[in-house]
């Protein structure tokens, strides 16, 4: 599973002109299930994200996790994180999990993340979403479950 994590002051998702979710300070997490991923992979990534210390402490150092600051998470599915651009200008997405697996693992990731403490809002899997955010920092972190055992 892959995730692009952004520390935000606020973020929201709109589908068909209606705002379906929004958060204040916290994390916007764009995530993509990859071929071969399972629930265990989704849970491990959620645990890593929940412990990611990218919020400032009293000394101004990035030393706090989202739960430490009372922040929330907005989890948005984004299969384009699986893009392979090695063969030209048109990206390929064959490394992404099939939609039925991707949707299930996306929801599992979001539910497991919420079970670890922070409130979680989600986008709508497979929808044409408009994502708005105010990046705080900016702080943007790339995580890939393949990078770690």
Residue 101 is encoded by which pair of tokens? Answer: 């697996």
Give phi and psi for 40, each to the nearest 5: -65, -40
Point out the catalytic residue in the list 6, 55, 79, 109: 79
93 in active site = no
Cα–Cα distance measured from residue 15 to residue 130, given in angstroms and rounded to the nearest whole number: 6
Give phi and psi for 32, each to the nearest 5: -145, 125
Residues contacting 69, CB < 8 A, separation 6+: 25, 26, 55
Point out the catalytic residue in the list 6, 14, 35, 80: 80
Residues contacting 5, CB < 8 A, separation 6+: 27, 28, 29, 30, 49, 52, 54, 140, 141, 142, 143
Give phi and psi for 143, each to the nearest 5: -130, 140
79 in active site = yes
80 in active site = yes
**Residues tagged active-site:** 78-80
């Amino acid at each position: 599973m892959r995730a692009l994590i952004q520390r935000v002051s606020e973020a929201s998702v709109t589908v068909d002109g209606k705002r379906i979710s929004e958060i204040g300070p916290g994390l916007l997490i764009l995530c993509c299930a990859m071929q071969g991923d399972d629930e265990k992979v989704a849970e491990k990534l959620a645990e890593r994200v929940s412990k990611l210390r990218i919020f400032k402490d009293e000394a101004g150092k990035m030393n706090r996790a989202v739960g430490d600051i009372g922040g929330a998470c907005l989890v948005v599915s984004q299969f384009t994180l699986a893009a392979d651009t090695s063969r030209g200008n048109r990206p390929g997405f064959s490394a992404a999990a099939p939609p039925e697996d991707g949707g299930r693992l996306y929801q599992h990731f979001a539910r497991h993340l919420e079970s670890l403490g922070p409130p979680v809002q989600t986008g709508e899997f497979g929808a044409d979403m408009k994502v708005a955010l105010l990046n705080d920092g900016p702080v943007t972190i790339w995580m890939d479950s393949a990078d770690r055992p």
